[in-house]
Amino acid sequence: MPARHLSNGEIAAELMALAQFIAAKGGNPYKVKAYRRAARTIKSLGESIDELVRNDFDLTEFPGIGQAISSAIQELVRTGTLRQLETVRSQAAPELLEIAEHPRLDPRRVLRVYKRLGISSIAALKEKLAEGEIRTRFGMRMEQHVRQGLQEAHDMLYYEAETVVAAIKTFLRRQCGIRKAEPVGECRRKVEIVREISFLVEADDLHAVLTKVAGYGGKADILTATDTEALAQLSSGTLLRLTASPHKKWGVALIETTGDEEHLRQLRTYNSKWDLAVSSDESFPTERSVYHYLGLSFIPPELREGKDEIALAAENRLPNLVCAEDIRGELHAHSTSSDGANTIEEMMAAAQELGYDYIGISDHSQTLKIARGLSEEALWEQIRFIDNLNARLNGIRVLKSAEVDILIDGALDYPNDLLKELDYTICSIHSRFGQGKAEQTDRILRAMDNRYFNILGHATGRLLLKRPGYEIDVERIVEHARNNRCFFEINSSPDRLDLSADNARIARQAGVKVAITTDAHSTGEFAYLRYGIDQARRAGFPKTSILNHLPWPELERTLKR
DNA sequence: GCCGTTTTCGGCCCGACTGTTTTCAGTCG
């Protein structure tokens, strides 16, 4: 048995390396996926896998870990190495050894780049990336892949962070005996990409807490520590910031740890009372008490990013932000007719269960073959089907819609005589992302000229942490939308969140309403709604500017153009 | 390699289009 205990991060890295070698050899891609999935599972755990193994815990209890991977982990923990991996390592070329240490790089793609550029090291790859040669020789996509793959980044999507936050919170409470631990920072502001997880804690001795935290996931590094603040790096790479505050100053500390730099800077300069609140002996147990003391109304955490919230709070003019209860229906959902997992009836029943008044079925249009887009004939049939269904329904209405592709020339993917039969349309770009900003903008503007265009679907096509999305001139498109009675969606899918909060803010300020939609491909995905709500709140939307807050008759009138 | 209300094998989505990589591999949902 080795003297050294392995952290979850180290175990995961070995499995990832093995996956990289298998992938490089062109091995079974499902096997590669299985190793990667297992590694991700392990990384996300707070309990030490090493310890679990030594206590003979059955690792196959964890999702994605079966007999083979469980045995591999046991071997790793008990002997310190994995024979299978060492064998592969001893036979691998030096450049591959290096690539295997970068789990986010696709080995086969990188090896192809090496060959064409006549290089053989990560250092040279970085150089070529910096010189822009990856882009010129291999295109934007490859550049993006290499950049992401080389980044020592531990950013995660907000919805992934939620799981980590919950695990850490449990750890702080149970293992560290902390009475009160509240997630703050980016997580509390609901920022879509979380770079650092932070907690405000009520603890008498932060250093004692840190000794426990150092064992999180087998081992965590304490990077910096004072009596009141510490930064740790978990073995998964995630940064965890802990700030300690006494109960008496909890409100002040919450504000300090929640707002971004700009919000705090503006608070300090707003009036001298902020410094007093921080330093005086006076008790401020709640945020409300602090804001009141400053002469401001309560600022919801999602707005604390130094935009216009302090000026508005000073005049008591902050918007009453939309919340999930304000949503009366879903406007973007798929069914088995295209690429959804549930039938129209099942989607309808689930929507009814949620208390919705209406649900729009927006299946893909004919050109999007991969998503089994509906032919004209199939859409006609769906329209008749929904008419019949509605005749039998009580309490909920199924809306006739489609997610219509915006073709390369800005034309919509169905003829107008078919589009006019729909209650409304969601129009989206699903192809030719590589167009320039001007072309892509014109494409959308032309599409909006069609009177059957209602809502622009996922305006930029971004996939968070994966793909930047196509470039568009948001101001011009918002302006055109306003003039043509077109609208936007905030797509709540946690890796899209498109419109972004910033773009949504531009729409709101121009007076253009948005729909908060889930783009649900199954009944379970209706639950994504809250992520879209978060972005709408960050953009300062009150419910009155949300399309699917409206009752159907009013929504119908609003959509008419 | 994992998984199972389709349960110990066979599926794990997939199919047409695209290309400042070039004739396959990557890409769209």
How far from A78 is each of A3, A19, A135, A426, A546, CA to CA, in Å?
10, 21, 45, 56, 57
Q: Token pair 């040669």 is at which residue?
A: A133
Chain centroid to Cα A53, Å, comes to: 33
Give the nucleotide nearest to A26 (CA→C1'). Answer: B25
The helices-and-strands tally (H runs, E runs) of chain A is: 26, 15
Nearest nucleotide (CA of A469 to C1'): B28
Helix (H) or strand (E) holding A121: none
Assigned token pair, A101? 């240490």
Strand B contacting residues by CB (7 Å): A 28, 30-31, 33-35, 38, 60, 63-70, 106, 108-109, 112, 116, 136-139, 141-142, 145, 339, 364, 368-371, 430-434, 458, 461, 463, 467
Nearest nucleotide to A431 (CA to C1') is B28
Nucleotide with smallest C1' distance to residue A22 CA: B1
Sheet with A329-333, strands from edge to edge, namely A329-333, A358-361, A397-400
Residue A162: in which H helix or E strand, if any? Answer: helix A158-174
Rg (chain A; Cα; Å): 26
In DSSP terms, which residues pair with A467 in a beta bridge?
A: A463
- The CA–C1' separation of A370 and B17, in angstroms, is 11
Q: Are A39 and A18 in contact (CB under 8 A)?
A: no
Q: Nearest nucleotide to A60 by CA–C1' distance?
A: B2
* Distance B21 C1' – A138 CA (angstroms): 5
pLDDT tens digits in sequence order for chain A, 561 residues long: 555 899 999 999 999 999 999 999 888 899 999 999 999 999 999 999 999 999 999 999 999 999 999 999 999 999 999 999 999 999 999 999 999 999 999 999 999 999 999 999 999 999 999 998 998 888 888 988 999 899 888 899 999 999 999 999 999 999 999 999 999 999 999 999 999 999 999 999 999 999 999 999 999 999 999 999 999 999 999 999 999 999 999 999 999 999 999 999 999 999 899 999 999 999 999 999 999 999 999 999 999 999 999 999 999 999 999 999 999 999 999 999 999 999 999 999 999 999 999 999 999 999 999 999 999 999 999 999 999 999 999 999 999 999 999 999 999 999 999 999 999 999 999 999 989 999 999 999 999 999 999 999 999 999 998 888 999 999 999 999 999 999 999 999 999 999 999 999 999 999 999 999 999 999 999 999 999 999 999 999 999 999 999 999 999 999 999
- List CB contacts of A62: < 8 A, sequence separation 6 or more: A38, A41, A42, A45
Query: A515: which strand partners?
Result: A489
**Nearest residue, CA→C1' of B1:** A31
**CA neighbor of A405 nearest in space, from A396, A395, A414:** A414
A384 CA vs B15 C1’ separation (Å): 28
Amino acid A35 CA to nucleotide B5 C1' distance, rounded Å = 27
CA distance A171 to A240: 13
Distance A525 CA to B13 C1' (A): 18
Q: Identify whether the C-beta of residue A514 lies closer than 8 Å to the C-beta of residue A209.
A: no
Gap from A110 CA to B28 C1', in Å?
22
Task: Tell me the nt nearest to A139, Cα to C1'.
Answer: B20
Q: Which residue is nearest to nucleotide B11 (CA to C1')?
A: A30
Q: What count of residues does chain A have?
A: 561
Using the structure, give the distance in angstroms from the CA atom of A36 to the C1' atom of B12, rounded to a whole number.
14
Bases of chain B within 7 A of a CB of the protein = 1-3, 11-16, 18-22, 25-29
Q: Gap from A142 CA to B18 C1', in Å?
A: 15
